[in-house]
Structure 1
Amino acid sequence: MKPGPSVPGKRAWPAAIGAVLLLGGLAAGWFWHAAQTRIDPAAALDAGDRAAIEKVVHDYILGNPEILPKAMENLRLRDNAQRLSAIREEVHKPYPGAVLGNPDGKVTLVEFTDFACGYCRQSVADVEHLIAEHPDLRIVIRELPILSPQSTDAARWALAAAEQGKYAAFHHAMFAAGRPGPETIRKAALAAGLDMERVRATIASPRIEAELNRNLELAQQLGFEGTPSWIAGDQLLSGAVGKDALSDAIEDARG
């Protein structure tokens, strides 16, 4: 009988794993001893043992490079989780009314957006598809007007619209109207049915100024450098990544 086709690296696995476990156990013993005697673990590990461990790890990685993308992804997710740990609750809490989709949804997608951003405008249709496909999806919009003074004006009007319970209407009308400016903002406000006098009394309020400043601080803490930027679970995404990537992140966030 002819031998079956070989699987690259298959026979190396038991040996490599055994060597790693053996040397790992040896290293663990040294680290335990070092901890008990208050010696620096790196200094306590014999140079020969350290070299042997490093060689096994080095050779294993060279022989199995496919583990690197997964390792890098795990590192990225761990880094994201650390960045989010102190601010997760805050970043998930919207400015009152600044929510799309199901306001009581069980899964949350956060979007940092700018009305002057073409990629944000491109992502509007993706967000609408997500809302249709995920009835339990809550989308928290964080206004991040970084591209122009006019986008800051539009962001102020959007938050004022949120206070009137008309955030979604203004959000969609503003992106449909084109680049933000006095005329397109007015057009979007009329299309959304805003109380114009009430808006004008609201847009300069300290609470709106505080919201925009805090959104900028949050974006900087998360390492976001532009819009749109997204948070789903422990995943941080940047750019117009598309409906499929966002949907995958939402499913991962469900656990």
Structure 2
Amino acid sequence: MGIVLGSNRYGKAEVRVVHVARDGDRHTLRDLNVSTALAGDLDATHLTGDNSQVLPTDSQKNTVYAFARRHGIGSPEAFALLLAEHFVHSQAAIRQARVSVREQLWQRLGPHSFQRRGEEIRTAEVSYDGDRAQVVSGITGLVLMNTTGSEFHGYVRDEYTTLPETTDRILATAVDARWRHLDPDTDWDLAYQQVRDALVAAFVESYSYSLQQTLYEMGHRVLDTRPELAEIRLVLPNRHHLPVDLSPFGLDNPNAVFVATDRPYGVIEGTIRRDDVPAAVGEW
């Protein structure tokens, strides 16, 4: 039985780049964390230490900064596309580039003043093989809560079940969503805002009998809103808020006082997709 080299890639992780576009007194701020990963004809560097086909990861880092200056940063997706195409077309040994971006979001306070927007992070990942580009956008850390309009009952009970059924509970989550585009030529900022709005609206407007049901309603609303999207993947942690027993103090608790617990927590995951779209390029 022989031993062979399997799939491999290399790159630079978490290159922080902040770009300020100065249009008179009104500035536009982009705050990105960029990671690159390159794959191709790289067997020699693994097997013999021949680095003649290896673009140093330090050069990849410098490319991020140079492209920010040369091209600006219009959106995470557009910037990742530029980088991915550059690495594939400029390096003979590279067959595929993956560029992942996490954008820290800032809320405008004035022409050149900004405030961080809490936990929320915008994400983008581009994979390019010289012929086809796959763009996956996303959001993480979007914290949402409904203080009513949520039930959970009728579930399986076994000898280890202690959870009481409820017809009125707090439903809270921190949305982690990623959606795959069919068209690599899109108004990325508009698409992001409309997907975010659809996620929030579906959470607010849907009566929930389970977090699974809420997940489906959110994904369905997104695909209804943006017909060019192939699918959306959602991960929804259940941020539990448990009613406090106030009876030792002679007090009732009509769903007014809760303790917020950070662990353990339930996690609900699911993909909502169209049944007539091309398959993804590899894993995403």
Higher strand share: 2
**What TM-score comes out, normalization by structure 2 length?**
0.23
Q: Which entry has the higher C-alpha Rg, 1 or 2?
A: 1
Q: Which structure has the higher relative contact order (CA within 8 Å, separation 6+)?
A: 1
**What TM-score comes out, normalization by structure 1 length?**
0.25
